[in-house]
Amino acid sequence: MHISEGVLSGPVLAGGAVISAAGLALGLRSIDYDKLPRVALLSAVFFVASLIHLPVGPSSIHLVLNGLVGLILGWAAFPALFVGLVLQAVLFQFGGLTVLGVNTATMALPAVLGYYLFAPLLRRDGKTAPVVAAFAAGFCAIFFSAVLTGLSLYFSGEAFLGAAWAIVAANFPGMILEGLITAVAVMFLRKVKPELLGMRPRVE
């Protein structure tokens, strides 16, 4: 869901930069020494997962996993996703440097929202509530990322309205896929590394 260079208007670029700067500041403050390897690992997961792209107008769709990143990292999702986006822009020309703020905001804001909405449900006993919460986190993260990307295009010019709707519609299969992958990953982590989800370690 990278937006390409030269598409967005100046005010939209400035707004995205301000939002991302605030998110990065909050995210960096939340990272301590013990959390740093976790942030680096999930940044790498995002970087690798995002390498396969399907062009959709001025944007593209791909596996993002920002829902999973948000569930584990909270506000630290901002620096994790930011680093991945910088590397993609520099190494592969995905997105670009001028749109880095907007691309970071459209992916990291839904990740943080998912953390506050669904992370507490992952700690409940049983399987139904955690599975549903994990699927919803993955699904909603892509949905809101697509909506924010569409709004960024629309606010840059009404001529992009059709492209904005196309991005949201084209990402619907990705929403379901991300929900399923996030649910599987969360249930696996609940068994082998529950502390990553804010749960107590398993006692053998």
Annotated domain spans of the chain: 10-197
Domain at 10-197, CATH from 1.20.1250.20, 1.10.10.60, 1.10.1760.20, 3.40.50.720? 1.10.1760.20
pLDDT at 132: 93
pLDDT band per the 50, 70, 90 thresholds, residue 57: low
Query: Cα separation of 84 and 66, whole Å?
Result: 11
pLDDT at 56: 53
∠ CA 158-164-166, nearest 5°, is 130
pLDDT band per the 50, 70, 90 thresholds, residue 96: confident
User: Buried (b) or exposed (e) across 61-80, using 16+ Cβ within 10 A?
Assistant: bebbbbbbbbbbbbbbbbbb
Supply the pTM of this predicted model: 0.89
Report the chain's mean pLDDT, rounded to a whole number.
Answer: 87
pLDDT (mean) for 22-38:
92
